[in-house]
Amino acid sequence: MLALAPLLARAELWGYVDGAGVAHVASTQVDARYRRLLGDPATQRVPGKSDSAGGLLTWLEIAPEVRSLQPVLREAAATHGIDIELLKALITVESGFNARAVSPRGAVGLMQLMPATADATTEQLLDPRTNVLAGARLMAGLMRRHDGIDVALAAWNAGEGTVRQHGGKMPPLPETRAHVHQVLELYWALLQARPPAPASRLRIQPNLSETAR
């Protein structure tokens, strides 16, 4: 977690949830619907469907769109060795958990995958399980091949070729930098909110040097 902190020193996250229950996030206040979600503890709020405001992290816990995907998220995280909170952050930024989302460029589904990159058809990628498993596989591969989660996310957004053109570092592209900061800001918040793992019972061994006396 500490390794993410320097990347987020100036990061903010704005957003809202629309009437269809789709989350929209941005690095700046795009219009009046967007409220500051993260980056200012005093206003860490997101409007719901009826203008009631609740925490973004709470929305990610209770929204039906998210809860129904928990088994798939756990499967993808375990299968590909990727943190489930990173998957949730990436899906929130990519599609707002809208499984039917298709971008003007042809990116499909929850993780906004290009069919050619995911080696699947558009129709296949509209299936939540297929989409998340394919996206987790691709993201895990990027994290293995690149130095740092921020660079891996940049490769996810801009392409590995673009990252290689900039010496394996974050490309100076505003869209890519904004995307990386949005995902990392939300990932950091999800990690902080995650309850600690229950402590294991420890069996204390006797001090052998003492018992030998």
Q: What is the spatial distance between Cα 113 and Cα 99, in angstroms, rounded to a whole number?
A: 11
- Return the pLDDT at 197: 56
Q: What is the spatial distance between Cα 27 and Cα 15, in angstroms, rounded to a whole number?
A: 9
- Return the pLDDT at 154: 97
94 assigned to active site:
yes
- Return the pLDDT at 12: 65
Q: What is the mean pLDDT of residues 71-79?
A: 98
Q: What is the mean pLDDT of residues 144-164?
A: 96
- Return the pLDDT at 149: 94
- Active-site residue (options: 61, 65, 75, 94): 94
pTM over 0.85: no
Q: What is the mean pLDDT of residues 44-57?
A: 42
Mean pLDDT of the chain: 80
Q: What is the spatial distance between Cα 66 and Cα 150, in angstroms, rounded to a whole number?
A: 24
Q: For 194, phi and psi rounded to 5 degrees?
A: -70, 130
Query: For the domain 12-193, what is the CATH code?
Result: 1.10.530.10
Q: What is the pLDDT of residues 155-212, one digit of tens each?
A: 999 999 999 999 999 999 999 999 998 899 889 888 887 776 554 444 444 444 444 4
Buried b / exposed e along 15-45 (16+ C-beta atoms within 10 A): bbbeeebbbbbbbeeeeeebbbbbbeeeebb
- Return the pLDDT at 53: 30
